Structure 1
Amino acid sequence: MSIDLSQFVPVFLEESFEGLEVMESGLLNLEEDDAEAINAIFRAAHSIKGGAGTFGFSNITDFTHVVETLMDELRAGRRSCSDSLKSVLLSSVDCIRLLLEAARDGTSCDDPQIKQVHQQLEAELSFDNKDKVAIVDNEFEKIEISSSPVAVKETQGWVIDFAPAPHLLMTGNEPILLISALADLGQLVTYAATDQVPSLDELNPEELFLHWKIDLYSDCSELAVREVFEWVEGDCSLSVLPLQTLADEVSEESVPNDSVSDEIAFDKVAEKSSTALVLNNESVEQPTIRSETASSKNNDDSSAAPAQNTRKIQADQGSIRVGIDKIDGLINRVGELVITQSMLGQVGLEMSDCDHPGVERLNDGLVQLERNTRDLQEEVMRIRMLPISFVFNRFPRMVHDISSKLGKVVELTLSGEQTELDKTVMEKIGDPLLHLIRNALDHGLETPQERIATGKAESGTIHLSASHQGGFIIIQIKDDGRGLDTNKIQEKALSSGLITTDQVLSDSDIHDLIFVPGFSTVAEVNDLSGRGVGMDVVRRNIEALGGYVAVVSEAGEGSTFTVSLPLTLAILDGQLIKTQHEIYIIPLLSIIESIWVSTESLNAVAGRGRLFLFRDEYIPVINLSDVFCLSETTKSFTNSLMVIVEGGGKRAGLIVDELQGQQQVVIKSLETNYKRVEGFSGATILGTGQVALILDVAGVIKMGLDSSTKQYPHAINKDDGYLLAKVDI
C-alpha cells in the first residue's frame, strides 16, 4: 500500500520555518567555541534537508546540503567561525525561507539571490582550511581485541550492520554523518564494504553502493543506537546486536588469539575490500542527529531501554499540531455557548419569583453552568495564547542588518519574551512593532561618532520588553538615543499647517504630532524613512486592535514607545450601560469608577466643553447621547451618572442614563459583518437576543475631544444606527 506523503508536507514546512528561526537566532549570537549553538544550527539544517529530500524538494535539498556541510566542518573544528562565513550563512537562511515559501505556495523560485548565495557557500566550502583532517584510503587503524573469553565478555557495545538503500542520497541523508553521530556514544571501528561498487563507466553518482559494519564500544542502550538512524528508517537495512554475542561466537569457534580481525567483524564480506576508521569523542567532534543530548545517552545502559522508550512516547504526546481553523471553530462554539448561557441566566432571573419547587434547582444549575462555561472559555482561550517571542525573534536579525547598513553599533535586548497573548493579536502587532524599531534605529540612535562626541558609549541600545497589566499586554520599545526634538517637530507642524502660532502645546501634545498622517521631520528621503508614512499606520493598526500607543521622550536621553493591547479579541468582561433607548457595553478594564455629578461640579471652558476635577486632574466630560445623536435636545447635567474611563492614554467622563450590570460578552467584528464604525470596537448579542455595541473607549474620547461644539462630526448617523440593529452577527 502506497502512502500519500503530500499530507505531511504542511507539517514539514511548519517545522522547517521553526528551524530557520533557530538557525537565524543561533547565527546572530554565534561564537567560535559555542558548540551548543553550532550543534543546534547543524541539526536544524539537517532536518530541513532530510525532510526536503523525503518530499522531493530537490532545490531545497541541494541548497541546504552545502549549509549543512559547512556547519558540520564547524562542529568538527575543521573550519573557523569567521564573520564572512556567518554573513553568508545568514543570507542562506533567507534563501531557504524563499525556497520553502515557494514550496508552500506551489510556485517556482528563480530569485537571483539564491544562485548568488549558493555560489558564495560553495566558495566558502572550497576554501582550503589547513585544519581539515585528511583520511587516507586503505590505511587501517583498528582496536585490537583479546580473544580471551573473559576479556571479551567484559567488553560492552554493539555490532551494527548498516546497509543503506541505493536511493538514500536522494533523500538528503548521508551515511558518513550517521556514522559520525555514533561516535558521540562511544568508540567506533567502522568497516565499509566496497565489493558492490561498479566500474567507473557504470557508476551512477547519485546512487549508493556501500554498506557498513560498525563495532561500537559503549555502555549505551540499543534504543540510543537506533535513534541515530531514525531519519533513514525504511531506507536501509539495519541490524543491531550486542557485542557480547559476537564475543560468545568467537569463544565457541576457538579462534586463535591473533585472528580476531576483519573476517570476524565483517562476516568475511569485506575481507580485502574495506576501509576502517577509528572515531572517538577525543579525536573529532561529531555531528549529533538525535533530539536528546549525547551526554544523556552515554549514561544509559541496555536495561534502561524500556524506560527510555516510555519517556520518548511521553515526550511525543506532549504536544500536537492542530490547524488554526479548527481552533477558531472551537472558539466560535464556545462563544455561542457563552451567549446561550447568558440567555438561560436571563430566563432564570425572570423565573426567580416563581414558587415552583424546581426553580431553586434550576437556579443552582444555572450558577454551575455559568462557572463551568467561564472555566471552559478560559481553557479554550489558552489554546490560542502564544508567547510573544514568536514576534520578538524576528527583530534581532532586522536590527543586525539595518544597523550594519546605517553604520551604527546597536545592541538589542529582550525581556518578557514568554509573555503570552492571543494569536490573532500577535499576527497583527508584528508590523507596528517593526515600524517602531526601524524608527528607533534610523531616527533615535546616533552614529558612533555622534555618541562619543556627546559622552555616550559607542554602542546604542534598544530594549524591547513585554509584560501583563490587567487584561492588557504592555510592550515597550526603549532606546538611549537623541530623543525627540520638540522644537523641530513644532516648526515642521507650523510650516505644514497642522497647528497655529496661537496654540499652546505641551511636550506630550508635540510628541503626539509624529502620529499625524504625512508628518515627517526628515529632510532627505531614504529607503528606510522620510516619506511621512509609518507612524500614522502604527497608531491606526494598534487602535484597530483596541489598544493605544504613547510616547515619552527626553532630548539627549532617548525615547520610550509604549503599546497597550488587549490579550484577546474574542471575549471580554463588560459593563452594560443605557443611554436614551440604546444599550452599550464598556469594557470593564477601561472603567476607573462611576459617580453621580451635578451641574455645579462641572466647569465650562471656552472652546473645550465641560471639564470635571477628578483626583487633581481636569478631565473632559462627554455626553454619549450627544456624540451618538440619540436625542434632538441636549441632556441636562443635573444629577447625572458619569462613568470615568481611560483609553488611549487619556481619561474622560462619559455621561450615561443607567448602569445595567456586568456581563461576559462575545465580541463580534463590525468590520467583518457590516463595516468599520468609529467609536465602536465590535458588537455582541445579549441574553435577551438584542444586539449591543461595544464602545472603543479611546475612539469615543477622541470623538468628544475633536469637536469643541455640539456638532460632533464623527457621530454615527441614523442610517448606521438602524442598520446596526438589523445586521445579523
Structure 2
Amino acid sequence: MDISEFFDTFYEEALELLQEMEQILLTLDVEAPDSEELNAIFRAAHSIKGGAGTFGLTELQQTTHLLENLLDATRHGELCLRRDIVDTFLETKDMLQEQLEAYRAGEQPDAETFERICAVLQQMAEAEIGRAVSSADAAPAPAVAPPAAKSAVSGGAAEDDSDLLEVSLLGVGDKDRELLIDELSQLGEIVAREGDAQQYRVTLRCGVSPDDVEAVMCFIVEPEQLSIRPVSSQQAGSESVPAPAEPVAQVAAAATADDADAPAERRKPAADAGKGGESNSIRVPVSKVDQIINLVGELIITQSMINQVAEGAAGTAALNNGLNLLQRNSRDLQEAVMSIRMVPMDYVFSRFPRLVRDLAAKLGKEVELVTEGKSTELDKGLTERIIDPLTHLVRNSLDHGIEDPATRRAAGKPDAGQLLLSATHQGGNILIEVRDDGAGLNRDRILAKARSSGIAVSDSMSDEEVWQLIFAPGFSTAVEVSDVSGRGVGMDVVKRNIQSMGGHVEILSQPGQGTRTRIVLPLTLAILDGMLIRVGSETFILPVNAIIESLQPREDDLYSMGGGDLLLKVREDYLPVVPVGQAMSVANAVEDVTKSITCVVQGEGRRYALQVDELIGQQQVVVKNLETNYRKVPGVSAATILGDGSVALILDIGDLQELSQGRRRTAAPPAGEKSSIQKQPEEALI
C-alpha cells in the first residue's frame, strides 16, 4: 500500500511533538522532575519513532529509539537528570528536526551528524544507566515488555490478562485497517481480531499503555476513529461484534462509558465521536485560505460598486435595505474568513525559550524569559515574517542590554536579568514588545558612533531620534565583534522588515533601567481600513491606524525653516509639513497650506502633518501588492480598486517624508510663507 499521502500529516504532527518536547525540557526541574512531564516527553519520542518506522525513515527511527530508551530510564528513576543531560536531549531534538526536514526535502539526513548523535546517546546510556543500546535495534523501549511469539490471528485467550488492550477501529477502510494492524503487531501479540468496516476490534497483549498505542496510531487515523481500553481474558474470549445496523455513534458512546476511568485527554476523542464524528480543528492549506480571501475581496469591491450606483440613482427603500444587508454580511464573512488565518502569538513566542537559554549560557549571563499575551492572534503570514526581526531584538537585549551577574550585583540588581516578550491588541493593530531590565542605551556612545560613521547628528536631538540611529545600516556600538553581534548587521533589517509589513518600530530606553522596543503591526495584510484623500485630481488612501487627527492649519501656526521646510504647531509640538502633491508630483494640488487639510500621522516613530486637498471619507479596501503586479513605486506601499473600478494607491508615510524633502531642495519656497527670521522659536529648530 502507498502510504506516502500520510507523510505530510506525519511531518506536521512530528514537528508539533518535537516542539512540545523542547518546551517541556526547557521548563523541567532537573532536581525534582514531574513524572507527567517525563511521560509526555517519552510519548512524544515514542510516537515519532512509530511513525518513522511506518514510513521507513531509518535514521529518524534509530535516533529516536536511542533517545526513547534514555527517556524511559529517566521516567523510571534509572537516569538522574542534570543540566548537561537536558542539553544533550535538546541537541538530539534539533537533530531529529533536521532529519525530518531532510526527509521532507527528498534527501537523506547527514550521515556524519547521525553517527555523532548516536555515539553521544550510546555513550550516555553506558555511562548513566550501565547498559548499551544499539541504534539498529529500534524495538520498543526497555520498559515495554517484549511480546511473546507474534501471531497474526489467535482465537485463544491470553494467559496473562494484566496487559490486554482492546483497540476499536471505527469506520476504517480495509487498506488502512491492515496498516494499523501491522503497526499493532509491532507493539505486542495480537490475540484476537474481528469485525467489519463499521467497527473492527483487535485484542492486543503488550506492555504498552493505551496512551502510547494511541500516539503511534494517530498518524494514520483520526482520534475519533479510535477507542482503546483494557480488557480481561474473559472479555477477550467472549467478544462479539455489534450488528452492522448499530450506529457508529452508539458504539463510540459505549466505548466512552467503558473508558470512564481513562485520562480526560484520551476520553475526549471518543466523546467527540459520539457527537457525530466532528473534529474540533482542521488543517487547511494556506493557498486555499488565500483563494477565499481573494474572493471575499472581490465581494467587497462589488459591494462598493453597488453602493455607488445606489447613491447616483433615486433608489428605493428596499434597495437601500438590501445594500445594508449586503454590507453587513460582507463584513461578517470577511471577519470569519480572516479568522481562519489568525494564529496565536504563542506560535512565535515558543521559539525563544531555547534561544534565550542557549545564548545566555554562552554569554555567561542569567536571564529569565517572561511571555505575556501568548493567546493574542495575528495573521499567519505576519507571524512567519516577524520571527526574524524578533530574533534580532532578543539577541541584542541579551548581548547589549542585560548585564552579567557581577555587574548587575554591583548596580543593586538581582543576578538574573528579565526579558519580557508581550503582545496585545491595540485598535486594528497588534503591539509586540521586547523589554529588558538591563543597562539601557547609551546616548553619548550612540552619538559618537554616528559622528564617526558620517551620520549628521546634533546634541539637541531628542532621545527618540537618537535611539532611531541604531537602525542605520552598519551601525553598531559593540566594543568587539563576536558571533552574536558587533558587525552592524541586523537592526536595519529589523526596521526594513517591519516597514514592509505595514508597521513601525519605536524604542524607549532609560539608563540603568532597561530598554523597551515596541513593534506596531496591522492584524492582517489582506484588508485595510483606509481614509480616502484627494490631491489635485488624484485619489490616494492613508491607513486609518496611522492617522492621529485631521485639521485645517491657521497662518499663525505655521513656521518656515531654512531650506524651504515648513513646520506646523499642533498644541506644543512642531511637526514637519509634508505636501502630498509635491511628494507624489501631482499637478493642480492646492499649494496654500491654510486652504488645505493636514492629517497628523505617525510613521517610523515620528509624527508628520500631511498636506492634502480634501478628505473624501473612510472605507475598507482590499490590499493588492503593487510590486507583484507592477513594480516598486516610491511613496507607495500597495494599491487597491475602488468602487468605480479605478486604482488608488495606498501611501507609505515614511517614504513621503523623504520624497518631499528631496523635491523641496530643488524647488523655491512657496510664495507667501513667513520668513524664518519673522517666526522661528527655539523649539522649532529641534
470, 473, 476: which one pairs with 1:517? 473
Distance 1:344 1:507 in 2: 50
Displacement, 1:420? 0.4
Matches within 5 A, 1:260-275: none
The alignment partner of 1:233 has SS state of helix
- Report whether the alignment pairs 1:103 with 2:103: yes
> Which residue number corresponds to residue 272 of structure 2?
311
Matches within 5 A, 1:145-164: none
Q: Does the CA-based 8 Å contact 2:534-2:616 persist in structure 1?
A: yes
Distance 1:6 1:222 in 2: 24
Distance 2:532 2:482 in 1: 50
- Report whether the alignment pairs 1:463 with 2:420: yes
- Structure 2 residue runs of 5 or longer lacking an equivalent are 170-176, 194-202, 216-222, 231-252, 261-266, 669-686
673, 680, 695: which one pairs with 2:636? 680
Displacement, 1:417? 0.9
> Which residue number corresponds to residue 140 of structure 2?
174
- Report whether the alignment pairs 1:389 with 2:337: no
Distance 2:88 2:412 in 1: 35
* Matched residue type, 2:181: E
> Which residue number corresponds to residue 181 of structure 2?
233
Displacement, 1:591? 1.8
21, 24, 29: which one pairs with 2:22? 24
Displacement, 1:321? 1.3
User: Which whole-Å deviations, capped at 9, do the CAs of 1:417-453 have from their partners, x for residues lacking one?
Assistant: 1110001111111100000001111111111222222
Displacement, 1:232? 5.0
Distance 2:182 2:150 in 1: 23
> Which residue number corresponds to residue 631 of structure 1?
587
Distance 2:16 2:422 in 1: 22
Matches within 5 A, 1:37-436: 37-110=37-110, 112-127=112-127, 129=129, 174=140, 193=148, 213=158, 215-216=160-161, 232-235=180-183, 236=185, 238-239=190-191, 288-290=212-214, 304-305=257-258, 309-312=270-273, 317-351=279-313, 353=314, 359-436=316-393
Distance verdict in 2 for CA 1:392–1:337, change over 3 Å? same
Distance 1:616 1:240 in 2: 84
Displacement, 1:106? 0.3
Which one has the largest radius of gyration? 1
- Report whether the alignment pairs 1:494 with 2:481: no
Distance 2:167 2:485 in 1: 60
501, 513, 522: which one pairs with 1:566? 522
Distance 1:483 1:426 in 2: 27
Q: Does the CA-based 8 Å contact 1:177-1:287 persist in structure 2?
A: no
Single out whichever of 586-595 and 437-446 deviates more from structure 2: 586-595
The alignment partner of 1:638 has SS state of helix
User: Which whole-Å deviations, capped at 9, do the CAs of 1:345-387 have from their partners, x for residues lacking one?
Assistant: 2112122x25xxxx43222222111111110011000000001
Distance verdict in 2 for CA 1:619–1:492, change over 3 Å? same
* Matched residue type, 1:304: A
Displacement, 1:233? 3.2
Displacement, 1:194? 5.1
Displacement, 1:589? 1.6
Displacement, 1:607? 4.7
* Matched residue type, 1:90: L
449, 453, 476: which one pairs with 2:410? 453
Matches within 5 A, 1:556-595: 556-595=512-551
* Matched residue type, 1:42: F
> Which residue number corresponds to residue 6 of structure 1?
4
Q: Does the CA-based 8 Å contact 2:72-2:141 persist in structure 1?
A: no
Q: How many residues align?
A: 603
Q: Does the CA-based 8 Å contact 2:79-2:128 persist in structure 1?
A: no
423, 426, 433: which one pairs with 1:476? 433
Single out whichever of 313-322 and 478-487 deviates more from structure 2: 313-322
Distance 1:360 1:301 in 2: 57
Distance 2:404 2:438 in 1: 10
Q: Does the CA-based 8 Å contact 1:221-1:304 persist in structure 2?
A: no
693, 697, 708: which one pairs with 2:649? 693
Q: Does the CA-based 8 Å contact 1:599-1:639 persist in structure 2?
A: no
Q: Does the CA-based 8 Å contact 1:221-1:302 persist in structure 2?
A: no
Distance verdict in 2 for CA 1:62–1:301, change over 3 Å? same
> Which residue number corresponds to residue 644 of structure 1?
600
Distance 1:521 1:303 in 2: 63
Distance 1:176 1:521 in 2: 54
Displacement, 1:599? 2.7
Distance verdict in 2 for CA 1:664–1:529, change over 3 Å? same
Displacement, 1:630? 1.1
> Which residue number corresponds to residue 604 of structure 1?
560
The alignment partner of 2:375 has SS state of coil
Q: Does the CA-based 8 Å contact 1:483-1:556 persist in structure 2?
A: yes
Q: Does the CA-based 8 Å contact 1:550-1:649 persist in structure 2?
A: yes
Distance 2:112 2:167 in 1: 47
- Structure 1 residue runs of 5 or longer lacking an equivalent are 133-168, 181-191, 197-206, 242-265, 267-275, 713-729
Q: Does the CA-based 8 Å contact 1:419-1:466 persist in structure 2?
A: yes
Distance 1:687 1:507 in 2: 44
Distance verdict in 2 for CA 1:287–1:18, change over 3 Å? closer
> Which residue number corresponds to residue 188 of structure 1?
none
Distance 1:531 1:360 in 2: 67
Distance 1:607 1:396 in 2: 51
Displacement, 1:639? 2.7
Distance verdict in 2 for CA 1:532–1:707, change over 3 Å? farther
The alignment partner of 1:127 has SS state of helix
> Which residue number corresponds to residue 679 of structure 2?
none
Distance 2:306 2:438 in 1: 57
Distance 1:530 1:69 in 2: 43
Distance 2:441 2:178 in 1: 57
Displacement, 1:711? 5.0
Distance 1:558 1:115 in 2: 45
The alignment partner of 1:491 has SS state of helix
> Which residue number corresponds to residue 183 of structure 1?
none
The alignment partner of 2:14 has SS state of helix
Distance verdict in 2 for CA 1:677–1:35, change over 3 Å? farther
Q: Does the CA-based 8 Å contact 2:367-2:416 persist in structure 1?
A: yes
Displacement, 1:127? 2.6
Q: Does the CA-based 8 Å contact 1:647-1:701 persist in structure 2?
A: no
User: Which whole-Å deviations, capped at 9, do the CAs of 1:556-595 have from their partners, x for residues lacking one?
Assistant: 1111111111110000111111100110011122222222
Distance verdict in 2 for CA 1:400–1:646, change over 3 Å? same
Q: Does the CA-based 8 Å contact 1:575-1:661 persist in structure 2?
A: yes
Distance verdict in 2 for CA 1:472–1:172, change over 3 Å? farther
Displacement, 1:636? 1.3
Displacement, 1:455? 2.0
Single out whichever of 605-614 and 399-408 deviates more from structure 2: 605-614
Distance verdict in 2 for CA 1:128–1:545, change over 3 Å? closer
Distance 1:318 1:195 in 2: 37
* Matched residue type, 2:608: A
Distance 1:680 1:707 in 2: 16
Single out whichever of 211-220 and 72-81 deviates more from structure 2: 211-220
Displacement, 1:179? 5.9
Distance 2:341 2:414 in 1: 42
Q: Does the CA-based 8 Å contact 1:624-1:656 persist in structure 2?
A: yes
Q: Does the CA-based 8 Å contact 1:221-1:305 persist in structure 2?
A: no
- TM-score w.r.t. the length of structure 1 is 0.76
Q: Does the CA-based 8 Å contact 1:220-1:301 persist in structure 2?
A: no
